[in-house]
Amino acid sequence: MKRLAVIAVLAAIATAATACGTTEATGTAGPGGIYTTIDGSKQIDAAAPINPFNPQGSTFAGYDAMSLAWPKNDLTDPNQFYPGIARSWTTTPDQGEVVIHLQPNARWSDGRPVTSEDIRTSIGLAYTQGGSAYTVNAGTAGAAADFQIMDAKTIKIAQGSNRSNTFLRNILSTIVVPAHVYGSLLPADFWATLKAARGTGPAADKAKSEISGLSQKVIAFAPKQDVSAGPFVLERINPGAALLKKNPYFYDAGKIAPAKVKVLNYTGNEQIWNYLVSGKLDSAPFTAVPAAVMERIKQAPGNEIRKGYSPVAASLAFNQAHKPYDNVHVRRALAYLIDRAQVTRIASPEAGTPSVTTTGIHGSAAKAWLGDGLGSLDAYKVDPAKAEQELKAAGMVKRNGVWAMPDGKPWKLQVHVPASFSDWVAAAKSITSQLNDHGIDASVVTSADYVLYLSELASGKYDVGFWLMALGPSSYNIYQRLYGSANGWSLLAGRLRHSSPGKDGNWMGGPETIDGVNPGELTNKLNLASPDEQKRIVATLAKLTNQQLPVIQLYDYVNTQFVNSTRYTGWPPAGSEALRLPAGVWMQLGMIRKKQA
């Protein structure tokens, strides 16, 4: 989502395009040539350390930075993965234990073998960062409880008593680094400290503090050179580009076609568009693109588009602690007035599809989760007559063609949106234009940047704002966006609690129970529910969401990738589950081949 931003001031394209020298710019580097792309998760900071734990680190996922495995992004099963450093894995039915079997031939770029001790060290470093399976907070669902090295290529990881269906996913997503480079960051007594931190009381608190205190040390660590277990290793980096060369020790080096990979830097959407229009990129991940620019991109020789599933949707969210948005009839009226198809055409014509209705789930996944039940939900098709009925039911009054509050005071609806998200700004303008046409005084208010926007949203400053939702494939994660901490529910020490609106980050302000149903409790149960139980719970939550509209689901994102077949071929086909992964993973899977002359 970071590249939704449209930044006005751009760095010179020529600097980035030729940053690594004229020979490299021609796309030749011996057998295989140079594969040119961008990193979809960050811009390049040449001063950042070669460290995958650093958010701006000079490493690149799928190329030199490796995980145990790579997610397949299945519609409903979050635990489907492609192999990475882990060749295979087995788990007990309740995910109580996971046994990881490493690639037998995996070696680091300095020739040393990848071993279970590397995994153990990587897990220790992950604990210093907190979250996911690696948290020391007692009772946290899905936390790892024990590690056992079975042999040099096998490690067993046990889950704590408070189980979670996402445990395997979180374990397989572990970033792997070499123990002989990073091991010194962990104190000699680290594992004893970790054991103590899992308890309660002053001693446990002290141990937790010691572990979290290592976080910045790990983030700031700067190895002298890249030591990679991936298909490539960093050769050099400057502000314009990073150049990686093939790692001869990679366990599947025969599948890797390019001799080198060049990752170009960018400062905003326009620069990526220019790269694509000029045919510089062999591939590029999702970027918000206007229709006119898309036509120019399509015209460049070799450029092709691959579209697939993207488990995220854009929505208009309400702060129900603020009037009149505490009234469900007002929210329904707005849903009947917003033409989602028109919003999508204006805001995200190439990378979005109008939401069929509001369920909380991406449209593609909703079909898998809900089946025929999807058709029984209110589609909220544009219907001004129904909208007027709903507004009247809420007590709103219409004077001289303009809707006002029940007490006659002006109703001024402000849609807040971060200025850097170009599709959201366009969507907000379309929505407010439509609402104004139907007598609602609506306007758009932008925040300077996304960080400020999220901060002000969380503090309850907005009545209405844009919100990312439907973050699958885990059903728990999907509904956490609507019935988690943003709406008052939080899990502490294994116990779910609900905070009142305005406290502990509760900016949505919805009721704790609705017609006897506690959506936060149901969402929490998804953590442990069997597949059949999950479907039943999801059906209940989807129906509740459709009726209550804590958000209006506007459009479901489409993962629109760009590839160029001038130099390489073998791309994932349209709809492939691999499309959301970096091209370096495509190479690991044997998908990318040098085009024959």
- Give the C-alpha separation, 154 to 374, whole Å: 44
Q: Is residue 390 part of a domain?
A: yes
pLDDT at 491: 79
pLDDT at 19: 31
Structural tokens at position 379? 């589609």
pLDDT at 82: 97
Residue 575 and residue 552 share a domain: no
Q: Is residue 525 part of a domain?
A: no
Please work out, in degrees rounded to the nearest 5, the angle formed at the alpha carbon of residue 49 by the alpha carbons of 228 and 19: 85
CB-based burial of residue 238 (10 Å sphere; 0-12 exposed, 13-18 middle, 19+ buried)? Answer: middle
pTM above 0.75, yes or no: yes
CA 49, chain centre distance (Å): 23
Residue 235 and residue 186 share a domain: no
Residue 263 and residue 404 share a domain: no
Q: Is residue 487 part of a domain?
A: no
pLDDT at 23: 38
Amino acid identity, position 170: N
* Domain CATH code at residue 378: 3.10.105.10
Residue 437 and residue 460 share a domain: yes
Q: How many CB atoms lie within 10 A of CB 536?
A: 12
pLDDT at 30: 54
Residue 195 and residue 101 share a domain: yes
Number of domains, the chain: 3
Q: Is residue 530 part of a domain?
A: no
Q: Is residue 146 part of a domain?
A: yes
Q: Whole domain around residue 82: which residue ranges?
A: 66-220
Amino acid identity, position 486: A
- Asked if 567 contacts 594 with a C-beta cutoff of 8 angstroms, the reply is yes
- Give the C-alpha separation, 281 to 296, whole Å: 14
pLDDT at 207: 94
Q: Is residue 539 part of a domain?
A: no
Q: How many CB atoms lie within 10 A of CB 202?
A: 7
Element (H, E) at 117: helix 116-129
Q: What is the DSSP string of 569-589?
A: E-PPPTT-GGGGS-HHHHHHT
Q: Residue 462: left if φ>0, alpha if ψ -120 to 50, beta else—which one?
A: beta
pLDDT along the chain (597 residues), means of 10: 33 29 44 90 94 96 98 90 98 93 98 98 95 81 90 95 88 97 97 91 93 96 98 97 98 97 91 95 87 92 93 96 98 98 93 95 95 96 98 97 96 95 93 98 95 93 97 93 95 83 94 95 92 95 98 95 95 92 96 88
Taken in order 542, 548, 550, 551, is the CA torsion positive or negative?
A: positive
Residue 207 and residue 93 share a domain: yes
Residue 108 and residue 157 share a domain: yes
Element (H, E) at 344: helix 340-347
Q: Is residue 193 part of a domain?
A: yes
- Give the C-alpha separation, 278 to 33, whole Å: 19
Residue 72 and residue 55 share a domain: no
Q: Is residue 401 part of a domain?
A: yes
CA 403, chain centre distance (Å): 38
pLDDT at 422: 84
Residue 366 and residue 424 share a domain: yes
* Domain CATH code at residue 576: 3.40.190.10
Residue 446 and residue 371 share a domain: yes
Which of 590, 587, 591 has its CA nearest to residue 62? 587
Residues β-bridged to residue 443: 414
Residue 349 and residue 203 share a domain: no
pLDDT at 291: 82
pLDDT at 91: 95
Residue 280 and residue 177 share a domain: no
pLDDT at 25: 39
